[in-house]
A and B are shown apart, each in its own frame.
Chain A
C-alpha cells in the first residue's frame, strides 16, 4: 500500500528565504506526482505536475524534482513571500492501470508560514 509522507508538518521562514518542502513515497510505481497548494478552508490549487519519466518541473519561482528510485520529491520555492503562506500537499498517482491515475494518494501536507 502506497504511503506518502511530508516532513516537516509545519515550517516558518522569514520573507526572502528559499523554501524546501519534502515528500516521500513508499512505492516507486507511480504515474505522476502533483504538488498542490491549499489555503485555509479552501480547495486545492495545482502547482506542478511531474510525469514519472521526468526529473523536474519548473514554474516561475517554483521548482519540483522527482527521484522515483529513492521515492522522493522536493518542492523548492525561491525568495518566499508572505503570500506563499499556505499548506502544501504532494500526491502520487498509481501506475497500475489508466483507470487508477486519478486515485491520488496524498501526504498530510506541510503548513508554511512566511513572516514579513
Chain B
C-alpha cells in the first residue's frame, strides 16, 4: 500500500467555477477525513466518513461544499462556485478504528487550490 493519494495536486481555477478533488485512502482504513489548510496555519477539520456514511460536517463546510464516499473507498470533495477565499490546501487523511494503528491519522500530499 502506497498510502493516501490525492488528485490533482494543484488546481488553478477562475472564480465561479466548480472544482472536484479525489482522495484514495489506505485500503484497509474505514475512516476518511477532509481538512483545509491556509498559509501559515494548521489544518482545520471539514468532514469525515466512516465507510460510506458521512458522520460529521464542520461549520466551515458551507453549502457550496459537498463530499461523497459512495462505496466506502475513495472520496470526492466538490466546491461549487469557487471564491477566492476557497484558496487553500485540501488535505485528506484516513484511519482505522481497529488494530494497532487505531486513532492515528495518515495524510495525503494534499490538493492545492488557487482561485483567481
A residues within 8 Å of B by Cβ? 4, 31-32, 34, 36, 41-46, 49, 51, 89, 91, 93, 98-99, 101-109
Show the binding face of B for A, using Cβ within 8 Å. Answer: 4, 6, 31, 33, 35, 40-45, 48, 50, 55-56, 91, 93, 95, 97, 103-110, 112
Residue among A36, A42, A91, A93 with the highest chain B CB neighbour number at 10 A: A42
A108 to chain B, nearest CB (A): 5
Q: Which residue of chain A has its CB nearest to the CB of B58?
A: A103
- Measured in the bound complex, the distance between the Cα atoms of B43 and A102 in whole Å is 12
Taking a contact as CB atoms under 8 Å apart, the answer to whether A103 and B48 are in contact is yes
Q: Which residues of A contact B45 (CB under 8 A)?
A: 102-105
A-B contact list, 30 entries, CB within 8 Å: A34-B105, A36-B107, A42-B109, A42-B110, A43-B4, A43-B6, A43-B107, A43-B109, A43-B110, A45-B107, A46-B104, A46-B105, A46-B106, A49-B103, A49-B104, A91-B42, A91-B43, A93-B103, A99-B55, A101-B95, A102-B45, A102-B48, A102-B95, A103-B48, A104-B43, A104-B45, A104-B105, A106-B42, A106-B43, A107-B42
Does the CB pair A43–B103 fall under 8 Å?
Answer: no
One of B40, B55, B91, B97 near A44 (C-beta < 8 A): B91
A102 pairs with B93, CB closer than 8 A:
yes
